[in-house]
A and B are shown apart, each in its own frame.
Chain A
């Protein structure tokens, strides 16, 4: 009982899901869907595909509920699944690289939270071009390096969690991150 009490909140929720509590699954979904979709979006650079993959991630979480044991942090387990799904998708080429245009975003009404402070069309274009370069630089990284950078930069996961999510040692992860950031610094140096 003490062990269960010491568990992190998410792991406790997942244990309740295992017992058939659908409400706990809804809580987990509510808490993690945004970071999972964002992680996958940064991995595949395609909104529709990232949503589809996120659905797959939560579906796998749900399917695995019966065998779930809280021996690792829930987020580590979740990102392990998300990473696996993303790497599989990239490997199988199930998504098309590239980004939607500004026009498409306006039509679909799902814009990328572009700040209102940009005053002119020219400034908009420059900002979009800059963002596009950042996106392309990330997209050009090998998939594992990309996953490591995205988890490290945007999801503030610790080295131990990222290394477990990627299935590599911590020292290997640091090498991966070193190479990835070195590549990004070189590719985006001209934006300084």
Chain B
């Protein structure tokens, strides 16, 4: 027999031996090997010690109302609307008969994140549409700013207009 920590099945043999579940033949081989190998002897002793230490750790008693609380939860679920149970099933996943877990068809987390993102976009868009906008300096049409109009230029323009008028109209005005 090879050493337990050098053998591919060593872990299983060590654990089963210390748990007392190894068959008699293989257990005898382990004991024989341990007599000759100090390293394996120490490993077995350490595992047995650990096994005993773990034995000391006991679990608490089950409260008397455990079943009653469970049945109350089941009753609450059964009394609720069917769609709620259906949604719960969808979002909590389930367990196939072979013991494998199937993932939920959807999770609430991305739904919530998506809903939040849509809300932010909608609010932003509505604000954008409602708020009056300042004209863009580059694209807005040029507007006359009264304080920048040159008085001399206005006068010249008026004179030009008079020249374009028919003579009678011009005389009448005179």
How many residues of B are in contact with the other chain, CB < 8 A?
37
**23 A–B pairs (Cβ distance < 8 Å), ordered by A:** A37-B59, A41-B60, A47-B60, A55-B70, A58-B70, A64-B95, A67-B97, A77-B95, A112-B59, A127-B56, A131-B56, A134-B53, A134-B54, A134-B56, A138-B54, A154-B54, A164-B98, A164-B100, A165-B99, A181-B15, A184-B54, A185-B46, A189-B46
- CB within 8 Å for A184 and B50 given contacts A41-B60, A110-B63, A113-B61: yes
Cβ of B74: which chain A residues have Cβ within 8 Å of it? 59, 62
- Chain A residue nearest to B49 (CB atoms) is A192
Cβ of A167: which chain B residues have Cβ within 8 Å of it? 100-101
A34 to B74, alpha carbons, bound, how many Å? 19
Q: Could you say which of A33, A134, A191 contacts B62, with CB atoms under 8 Å apart?
A: A33
- CB within 8 Å for A131 and B57 given contacts A59-B74, A185-B46, A192-B49: yes
How many residue pairs, one in A and one in B, have C-beta atoms under 8 Å apart?
A: 126
Cβ of B56: which chain A residues have Cβ within 8 Å of it? 127, 130-131, 134
Given contacts A175-B11, A178-B11, A184-B50, 13 further A-B contacts (CB under 8 A): A33-B62, A38-B59, A51-B66, A59-B73, A77-B95, A80-B100, A113-B61, A131-B57, A152-B15, A177-B11, A177-B15, A181-B15, A185-B47
* Cβ contacts B85-103/A at 8 Å (1 or 0 each): 1001100101101111100
- Chain B residue nearest to A114 (CB atoms) is B58
- CB within 8 Å for A181 and B57 given contacts A55-B69, A165-B99: no
A32 to B98, alpha carbons, bound, how many Å? 19
CB–CB A64/B63 < 8 A: no
Q: Could you say which of B50, B67, B70, B99 contacts A77, with CB atoms under 8 Å apart?
A: B99
